[in-house]
A and B are shown apart, each in its own frame.
Chain A
Amino acid sequence: MPVGEWKAGEGQEVSAKPIKTLAVTVAALAALAAVGRAEVIQHGSLRISFEGKLNPKRLPRHGAAPVAVSVGGHVTTTDGSTPPQLRKIEIGINRHGRFDYSGLPACRLEEIQPSTTTNAMRACGPSKVGVGSFAANVAIPGQTPFPSAGKMIAFNGVEGGKPVIFAHVYGTRPVPTSFTLTLRMQQTRGTFGTTLVAYLPHVTGHAGFITGLSLNLHRTYRYRGSWHSYLSAGCPAPKGFSGSPFPLARASFTFAGGRTLGSTLVRSCKVRG
């Protein structure tokens, strides 16, 4: 398999075609600190911090090795006002990254939504592909907005016969509730071969204003006697170079009212061996 091609895992129940998935996101500040240097986009008073991290950084020049990808984002305003409601997130993933969900069980939305984290794990634990966190301001009309935070678990899933990532969030404050963010995968040409699209309103309601989201995708598993990694990548450095910067991801955030802000995240890798 050439480096840079994302390959669907064998044994996928609903589709033989590799599903390339992108973690969408906005991360909490704490998460961002862990992720690393952030790209900051600002328009007017609206500011978005977008961060990503690839681990390990030493990767083979040829072929791919299992990796963990952390992405996150944080939506703020410079004047303290409530940021507009985030309606859509699009993240393009560098075409050198590879998803492999061969033999990985796929979770159905109705198995985990709604449910507690425990129940979600009980139903779709074998499909888990990552963990993260979620933060939002809930601004119910007539109420003082309050922050809401919860643990996020990413499951390998399928929706309409197509692979998706279900990012399941469960919180008990102020009341027990859960929602699941569905990250749909779209194949594109160019540097960013796969774009993950998530529509937010229908899962967060009209009152939810996402302020932060982080997701760390990483899963290795055995299938038919061999190890697989949900995410694998190589370092695309030119011959003679021990490493190279590369555009890891490109993010686009669309807010209520149609305003869209975008940014490209550039990271570097080193050639292993």
Chain B
Amino acid sequence: MRALKLVALAALLAGFCAFPSAAFGSFGLQPGEQGFHVTIENQDGSADALSGSHPYEMHVHLALNESGGFSDGDLRDLHLHLPAGLLLTPRVRTCTSEDFHTPRVSPYQESLSGESCPNASQVGVVAVHSSYKGGSTRWFGVFQLSHPHGSPEAIGFSPFGIPIVLSTHIREADGGLDLRLENLSQQIDFTGFDLTLWGTPYATPQVEEPPFVPPWTFPHDNERGNCLNEVNPAEPFGEPAQLVWSSPPPEWKYIAGTCSGGSDPTIVNPPSFVSMPTSCGATMPWQATATSWAGESEEAGALSEGPAGGSIVPGSCVEPNSAAEVHLFTESAAAPTGLIFDLRMLDGNPPLFASGRISSPAREASMSLPEGISINPSLAAGLGVCSEADFAREALDSHENEGCPNRSKIGTVSLEGLLGLEQPVKGSVYLAQPYANPFGSLVAVYVVFRDSDLGVFDTATGVLEPDPHTGRLKARFENLPEIYYSHFRLTLREGQRSSLVAPPACGTYVGELGLTPYSDPELHLTDLSYIQITEGEGGGLCPDGSLSPFHPALEAGSLNSQAGAFSPFYLHMTRTDSEQEITSYSATFPPGLLARIGGIPYCSDAAIEAAKLKTGTEELEHPSCPKISQIGHTIAGYGVGGTLAYAPGGLYLAGPYHGSPLSIVAVDSALVGPFDLGVVVVRSAIRVDPFTAQASIDSSGSDPIPHILGGIPLHLRDIRVYVDRQGFTVNPTSCDVLETHSLLTGAGADLASTADDPSATSSDRYQLLGCQDLGFAPRFRLKLKGGTTRSKYPSLRAIYEPRSGQANVGYAQVTLPHSLFLAQEHIGTVCTNRDFAAQTCPVNSRLGFAKAETPLLDEPMRGYVYLRSSSHVLPDIVADLHGRGFEVELRGRVDAGPGGGLRATFEVLPDAPVTRFTMHLFGGKHGLLVNSEDLCAHPQRALARFIAQDNATEQLRPRIKVKCRSGNGKRGRGRK
């Protein structure tokens, strides 16, 4: 060869001197069909253009420019671009590398083939045109090789002992195949070839007589291996074998030809090697790109010859025969579950048989999942997303996390039987970035198939569209692999963060499936799939769809258990998966658990309304309510199963709502993992019992909790409320066993109706410590002002001042001395309870006024003191205190003490911190008291008895201040 090259080089140099340079052609393919031509034929020599069929032979002619029997440049790479859908499917036997590199020894002639591959691995023949070995055309066998890394399959031949490998590659764009010959040895001086690939290397003869099942034979057995006459290109093949039906006894008789591989009983259902595209009417463009070692490159195109002018015959398509099914991983109602979507191609006679025809793979698959199956928010726990840029970076050779991050993986896919390969191609399902995806939808997926060993890479996209009202899911996958496969399986993960939730009751559920093949975009095939739910949660009783149980649990308490201390307070409500959804809640806090709202501005109504219109991300980045209004935070756990997806939220102080003077609003950025479901705003009216000052959240005055957002049932299972603003929540000063109560409302059987919503009460023990350390030594003063003589009506001022940090008073009783009578003649008007409740007490029923200074509010609570109807013998004396919209009612019973002194007893006082409480009773014509003697005659003492919230007692004998005339007749304090 080297000698030939030198000769050629010498001739070239000589020619260069003798002839114009134009006489030498440049590297490239010869023009037109001389350079590149393709025919696909049936066994009778007619062109095959039937969709999905398996031709008898496919011929590829390729010729390079040559001059004087030498190519115009040495071919280095050759890329053959096969029409989309034209398949070369791997066969059941391959030639090993050892055999491929072991020169053939033929008993018929001297073989120049460098291989000794078994006949069963042969898929065609090739006529090699080169100047090598005398410049003749010689025929060699083409064999199926073990696939090289990065390619699903390869064929090769070894002319003159020079191995030439054509590896196949699946194009990502259209699923079509490329055949690539790379780094061809310059030694062979390749000028062209005629490549013949057999459509059905193992074919079943068309036998119409019994026993109908002949042994498998080699249709091209006179072209195989040793039968090839490499020496005489004019007669390259031997005599073919024959299969004859003869009797007696009746049987098939195999009459060997020149040479024959014979039958191979171990081969069962061998696939065809070449399959035609499945798209009807589609053209079959070929393209060849030749590149020389000098870097010159040329492309040439060709159309397969055929009756449709190089196209698949319109109307020849085989209607896809596929079966799709949906399975859940569980048969338990309301259980977390994954999902399996199976799509099987059921083309008859196995599709790759010579007599079978393949149908078009599905371009698009859709599933309307059965009603009751919904997205599990738990899926979102710790979940990432794959952006469009991430997805774009996905490639055959991309590394882990180079494209879609692993955190966004929510399932797997597999393709079995791709190109007829036994080895399945696997892939992953990633969650696409919500809204920033090809569908612009909340839930979309990217599907990535990748097998670097096979060189297979493909992608698809999918979308899950939940019904906004019912949550029923409709899934749609687009751009599924266009290349042939037998079984597509998509699995959405199960486990702790399962992607779906099973229907809530036992029964049979029907899903609707749809397929649209590549061959006909207008065709929409439908199928039904059935899912059975046969047991309850954990294998328990089967829910029948009627009302589910509803027994939510409550846990509540102060983080600091010291009585009277400022401490964060938490409320934790939970339910199980089998219970109804929580639609609203109320809570009654332990008496005395109050909050210092002084100095905290409200989050405005406008800001709250604005929050409802935001996305969760916007709210998180720019909270609608001012930070200064925040009093705590919330965490809501959504989902089903062992792991929940938690979404944070802020808890803010807000103004009057639903008749209550105060409200709290939970502004929850519904960022459940990567899903931005907007902002959940639940505003709850805070009510304060006017008698005990016990605070509560009343569900009737509160917003319902949404149970479905964006079509995703939230399955709210865990509500955590932390009121943890520093110095905000103050503990009671009672160490009695108290309780936090909660009333939760379930969704009932009908999520859309509140008529069947049940309620459940939960309680949690609440008890503080350290009461013995609080102490209780209040100061108490009384002062009379006005006339001091008998029958005068003095005013009375009572001042109660506790010491800082001590227990709050819970009971107070003050007995006045005998010198003060009830001025019954002044009991003209009594405020009725109805008028009191309506705040319409007659002016004449006012006895005085009161003021309570508390650290909880900016300003003191003030109000009139009334004489109000009661169940006691006499009307009660009631201080009606108001402050920041709240009302506190201090109710005192009026009677006489053991010694006959006028006595007022406040049996229930709210466990609320006050720094000073003052009650002033009018004197004069509206005075409730009348002197029964001269107050200055002797010191006046009252008896005061106080019981703290922690049951500590204090009894005082305060001297009543009276301003008397001094002995010299001047006004003075006199005797007190």
Interface on A for B, CB 8 Å cutoff? 110-111, 113-116, 119, 140-144, 146, 172-179, 202-203, 205-208
Contacts and interface: CB of A to CB of B under 8 A. Distances in A.
B833 A174 contact: no
Give the 6 A-B residue pairs with the shortest CB-CB distance, closest first.
Answer: A142-B869, A172-B900, A174-B873, A175-B822, A114-B932, A115-B932
B932 A143 contact: no
27 contacts: A113-B791, A114-B821, A114-B932, A116-B900, A141-B830, A142-B830, A142-B833, A143-B830, A143-B873, A143-B875, A172-B896, A172-B900, A174-B895, A174-B896, A175-B822, A175-B894, A176-B818, A176-B820, A176-B896, A176-B900, A176-B932, A177-B821, A177-B824, A179-B824, A179-B825, A207-B827, A208-B824
B930 interface: yes
B195 to A, nearest CB: 113
Given A114-B790, A140-B874, A176-B896, A205 B824 contact: yes
A115 B933 contact: yes
Given A143-B875, A177-B822, 14 more contacts: A110-B791, A114-B791, A116-B818, A141-B869, A142-B870, A143-B869, A143-B873, A174-B873, A175-B821, A175-B895, A175-B902, A176-B822, A176-B901, A177-B821
A205 to B, nearest CB: 5
A113 B875 CA distance: 24
B931 to A, nearest CB: 8
A202 B825 CA distance: 8
A114 B791 CA distance: 6
Contacts of B68: none
Interface string B101-118: 000000000000000000
Nearest to A112: B790
B793 to A, nearest CB: 11
A120 to B, nearest CB: 10
Interface in B810-838: 818, 820-822, 824-825, 827-830, 832-833
Contacts of B902: 175-176
B824 A207 contact: yes
Contacts of A142: 830, 832-833, 868-870, 875
Contacts of B829: 141
Contacts of B895: 174-175
Nearest to A147: B873
Max chain B Cβ within 10 angstroms of own Cβ: one of A115, A178, A203, A207: A115
A174 B931 CA distance: 17
A146 B871 CA distance: 11
A122 B562 CA distance: 57
Contact of A205 (B821, B825, B832, B930): B825
Contacts of B790: 110-111, 113-115
A140 B868 CA distance: 10
A110 B829 CA distance: 26
- Decide if the interface of chain B is mainly helix, strand, loop or mixed: loop
Given A172-B896, A176-B902, A178-B821, A140 B827 contact: yes
Interface in B877-933: 894-896, 900-903, 930-933
A179 B931 CA distance: 13
Contacts of A208: 824
Contacts of A143: 830, 869-870, 872-875
Contacts of A114: 790-791, 821, 930-932
Interface of B: 790-791, 818, 820-822, 824-825, 827-830, 832-833, 868-875, 894-896, 900-903, 930-933
B932 A119 contact: yes
Contacts of B900: 116, 172, 176
Max chain B Cβ within 10 angstroms of own Cβ: one of A140, A175, A207: A175
Given A141-B869, A205-B827, A174 B932 contact: no
A115 B874 CA distance: 20
A220 B457 CA distance: 132
Contacts of B870: 142-143
A144 B830 CA distance: 13
A33 B265 CA distance: 136
Max chain B Cβ within 10 angstroms of own Cβ: one of A113, A141, A208: A141
Contacts of B820: 176
A159 to B, nearest CB: 15
A206 B829 CA distance: 10
A179 B818 CA distance: 15
A170 to B, nearest CB: 9
B757 to A, nearest CB: 40
A208 B828 CA distance: 11
Contact of A116 (B822, B830, B832, B932): B932
A233 B347 CA distance: 140
Contacts of A111: 790
Nearest to B817: A176
Contacts of B930: 114
A28 to B, nearest CB: 20
Contacts of B821: 114, 175-178
A178 B933 CA distance: 12
A173 B822 CA distance: 11
Max chain A Cβ within 10 angstroms of own Cβ: one of B791, B821, B824, B870: B824
A211 to B, nearest CB: 16
A207 B827 CA distance: 8
Given A173-B896, A174-B874, A140 B830 contact: yes
A143 B900 CA distance: 22
A175 B823 CA distance: 10
Contacts of B824: 177, 179, 205, 207-208
B896 A206 contact: no
Nearest to A208: B824
B967 to A, nearest CB: 23
Nearest to A142: B869
B361 to A, nearest CB: 88
A111 B872 CA distance: 32
Contacts of B871: 144
A166 to B, nearest CB: 14
Contacts of B868: 142
A178 B875 contact: no
A177 B634 CA distance: 59
A122 to B, nearest CB: 10
A177 B932 CA distance: 9
A119 B791 CA distance: 13
Nearest to B816: A176
Contacts of B827: 140, 205, 207
A178 B930 CA distance: 10
A271 B919 CA distance: 67
A178 B821 CA distance: 8
Contact of A140 (B825, B875, B896, B901): B875
B719 to A, nearest CB: 45
Nearest to A115: B932
A265 B682 CA distance: 81
B514 to A, nearest CB: 76
A43 B693 CA distance: 54
A146 B894 CA distance: 14
Contacts of A206: 828
Contacts of A177: 821-822, 824
A136 to B, nearest CB: 11
Contacts of B833: 142
Nearest to A111: B790
A175 B874 contact: yes
A200 to B, nearest CB: 12
Contacts of A144: 871, 873
A2 to B, nearest CB: 42
A113 B870 CA distance: 29
A119 B932 CA distance: 9
B903 to A, nearest CB: 8
A172 B832 CA distance: 25
A140 B875 CA distance: 8
Nearest to A113: B791
A114 B793 CA distance: 11
Contacts of A178: 821, 932
A113 B902 CA distance: 17
